[in-house]
Structure 1
């Protein structure tokens, strides 16, 4: 009886149980709606007049959200052995808790409970409240769009890592060069290499806020070169991710075409030898 009930719960909350449980889709849509409403509430709460007038409503809704997310998290831990059947129950639960989605589920509720057990500075409590926005990543479990982005980002992590490392080297070199060129003329704007990083970031990304800029001839020359290099270098991660998306979409279309072709065949397997046609 307990195993059957546990199986029904698993089919209800697991994203792969949609084919077996008609309530699974309703559950997922409800959780998605709650996530979006929760994030909307966080944004609306930042408006002073709304916070003063509906502060109790925001608080009650936050409590309801935390209760639902907490129950969902505990149920996923409880049914983890049905998801990872090859592991022992305790290992399956630990595997879920340490998985990316398990950590996101934990971060979505943990900031609410920490102040009950530990005394924090009010500023740190505000930072904990900011982490509530991370619960939007829970949508990754229920939407294909975020799932596609995550898979592409994971597959291209090596190329992105190399690009980020090159960007860091360029930032470091440009900050060092600019510091030695401008620090004597503008000691308040370029006091050290670390502070000059802000100029490098603004220039390399071609944002150019204008709060810090070179005034010497050599400084302007280096700044122009860095800005030109930034146009191509900053675009590299975008190109890598775009190529990854195209590859994923093409693979998906090819898979769908192959499945359609298999369904169109009168026989999927040879009636004599049993091999797939």
Structure 2
């Protein structure tokens, strides 16, 4: 039984999918894929549990064992996918696979590190949660659509930065000589300007001069307008992604799939264009 399972996983051969984990029709592949996803969710709960009280010290061994187990599973999945990938360089450079890599590398490097480096590597474990993004069907299409709208995003954020920099600079020069002022430098004033333009408003810093308040008011009004432009671009990205996703599904629905070689054929085809298998009503 174990030998048969091994052959199904490591001897997987399908023209449509590179490995069994990506095959939606494979019960074993979907079980393993869902198991790995459940480990990510479980890690999120453990990561929070670890930060409560003295849990990190009290359950140090148990937490280490779980971290080691999850890292080994993620590493095994990564190298399994790499081994089966047809284009290995493209696989390694893929942003999704970079996320996969960071889900286990910090643990193994952490075994050889101490001090602040170890703390940083332990913190990087939180990147494992990004693996859940792969479960969102529209992720790949959304990333592609973002690239198509990169010029629009550049224009919006350049405009945001220009307003932020000019407004904050004026506020700094009007406020810097006021006794007890908190606007002690342009970087600190930029922080205040960013908080103001994004409508967060912590209230830790407020202009005291009339001119400072005037320019602060400009940031209050202009900030939401620029952010609205960014939101509008993002909505267009989502709409295009959703439209492309829907068109893809409609195309697949209109295609006949050959049960023998798994290839797609026109809906009016009677025989597979690849292997010649009779299609009948195979959808």
Q: CA deviation at 1:174?
A: 1.5
Query: Residue 106 of structure 1 corresponds to which residue in structure 2?
Result: 101
**1:172 match:** 165
Name the TM-score, length of structure 2 as normaliser: 0.78
Match of 1:144 in 2: 137
- Relative to total residues, which structure has the larger helix share, 1 or 2? 1
2:142–2:241 CA contact under 8 A, matched in 1: no
Is residue 13 of structure 2 the alignment partner of residue 18 of structure 1? Answer: no
CA distance change for structure 1 residues 196 and 111 in 2, over 3 Å: closer, same or farther?
A: same
Q: Distance in 1 between matches of 2:206 and 2:118?
A: 37
How far apart are 1:199 and its partner, in Å?
0.9
Cα deviation, residue 146, structure 1: 4.1
Find the residue that maps to 2:61 and give its secondary structure. helix
The unaligned stretches of length 5 or more in structure 1 are 82-91
From 90, 99, 102, the counterpart of 1:95:
90
Where does 1:146-225 land on structure 2 (aligned, <5 Å)?
A: 146-147=139-140, 149-186=142-179, 188-225=181-218
TM-score by length of 1: 0.79
Instruction: Using the TM superposition, give the Cα deviation of residue 35 of structure 1 relative to its aligned residue in structure 2, in angstroms.
Output: 1.0
Q: Which residue of 1 aligns with 2:3?
A: none
Partner of 1:124: 117
For residues 7-86 of structure 1, what are the structure 2 equivalents within 5 Å? 7-8=11-12, 10-13=18-21, 15=22, 17-19=23-25, 21-81=26-86
1:229 to 214, 222, 228: 222
Hey, what does 1:84 align to over in structure 2?
A: none
| Structure 2 unmatched ranges of 5 or more | 1-5, 257-265, 274-283
Q: CA RMSD in A?
A: 2.9
Distance in 2 between residues matched to 1:210 and 1:123, nearest whole Å: 33
Q: Distance in 1 between matches of 2:53 and 2:142?
A: 35
Is the 1:152–1:241 Cα contact (8 Å) retained in structure 2? no
